[in-house]
Structure 1
Amino acid sequence: MDKLWLQQQVLEQLSADLQQVEAALQTAHEAATHEENIAENKYDTLGLEAAYLATGQARRAEAIRQAIAAWRQFRPRPCDAEQGIRVGALIRLRDADGQVQLLFLGPLGGSMRLDHGAQSVQVISTEAPLAQALFGRCEGDEVSIQVGSKRQQFEVLGLE
């Protein structure tokens, strides 16, 4: 599978997400500053709520901008089997139920699913608990993570 194609798809998805968040930010900002939303009494909080929403949207937009910058600087390389799993690895995992999945480990903000033909690739970032458990692991290794009250087990089937 072409890692540069995956990187491009992630960048396109992040750019689309940024456009959507910026539009929502603009709407929330307009609602927060509109003259009809000026509080008439202490119980009239529409303008305040819109301001909180605009602040959250601004933070989300900044996080996406940082993720885009990280993905633009990212240079996927072939996997070195001796070093094990690192950022840029394409990992084939099997869970305890026998389900096989393909993961692409990238930098910030890459939590998304991409379809490449008939194959689906889950993009995860270095902050994901599964990514943390996989770092340095090699083909044939097993990892487990705690998700809520459930323990999940995985076997590394292959690396690219």
Structure 2
Amino acid sequence: MNKAHVIEHLRFALTAQLHNAKQAAQAAHDAATHEESVAETQYDTLGLEAAYLAQGQAERVNDCYRAIQLFEAIFNGSNFHQVREGALLCLMDENEQVKWFYLGPHAGGLTVTVKDTHICVVTPQAPLGKQLIGKQCDDEVTLTMAGRAHTFVIVHVM
């Protein structure tokens, strides 16, 4: 796995999220300021609802900008021996299935695909991220999901 390719895919995905958020914010703003959104009676809340939606979408845009800034701060890091923010890592479960993760500062759950391999962003605040911090190759982590314990071995840390 080439970490530089993963980082480029993450940059593209974060930029795409920002673009989508901007479009949604613009559409929400247009709806909130449209002449049909003006309240006709005291019970007409269409304009108020549209304004709340526009505010939420604007916050989403700001969140996307923040995510890009946080990721850019760690993208320049080289390969690591211990798991920390900016590490690309490969885990193997008890069924010998391989899973790839990027320990990022934000955007947990974001998934990119590089050469048919899915890489999922996990944050240090996530249960898996908390267990991974400071670990090295061949260390094990156990995560309980749906009442069942799953053990993973760290195969690669980059």
Shorter-chain TM-score bucket reads 0.7 to 0.9
CA distance in 1, matches of 2:17, 2:49: 23
Change over 3 Å in CA distance of 1:50–1:147 after alignment to 2: farther
Contact in 1 for aligned 2:107/2:121 (Cα 8 Å): no
Deviation at residue 149 of structure 1 after TM alignment = 4.7
- Cα displacement (A) at 1:150: 4.8
Looking at structure 1, the residues matched to 148 and 39 of structure 2 have their Cα atoms a distance apart, in angstroms, of 47
The 5-angstrom pairing of residues 8-157 of structure 1 reads 8-74=8-74, 75-80=76-81, 84-109=82-107, 111-147=109-145, 149-157=147-155
Query: In 1, distance between residues paired with 2:114 and 2:141?
Result: 26
TM-score by length of 2: 0.86
Task: Tell me by how many angstroms 1:151 deviates.
Answer: 4.1
The amino acid of 1:155's aligned partner reads V
User: Which structure 1 residue ranges, 5 or more long, are not aligned?
Assistant: none
1:39 alignment partner AA? A
Task: Report the number of matched residues.
Answer: 157
* Structure 2 runs not aligned, ≥5 long: none
User: Given residue 92 of structure 2, which amino acid in structure 1 is its aligned partner?
Assistant: R
Residues 152 and 46 (structure 1), Cα distance of their counterparts in 2 relative to 1, 3 Å cut: farther
Q: Is the 8 A contact 2:102 2:119 kept in 1?
A: yes
* Deviation for aligned residue 1:14: 1.0
Deviations 1:31-87 (A, max 9, x none): 11212111122331111111111111111111110111122222231112xxx2112
Aligned-residue Cα RMSD (Å) equals 2.0
| Deviation sequence 1:127-149 (CA, Å, 0-9, x none) | 33211110011222221234465
2: distance between equivalents of 1:54 and 1:151?
42
Identity, % of aligned positions: 36
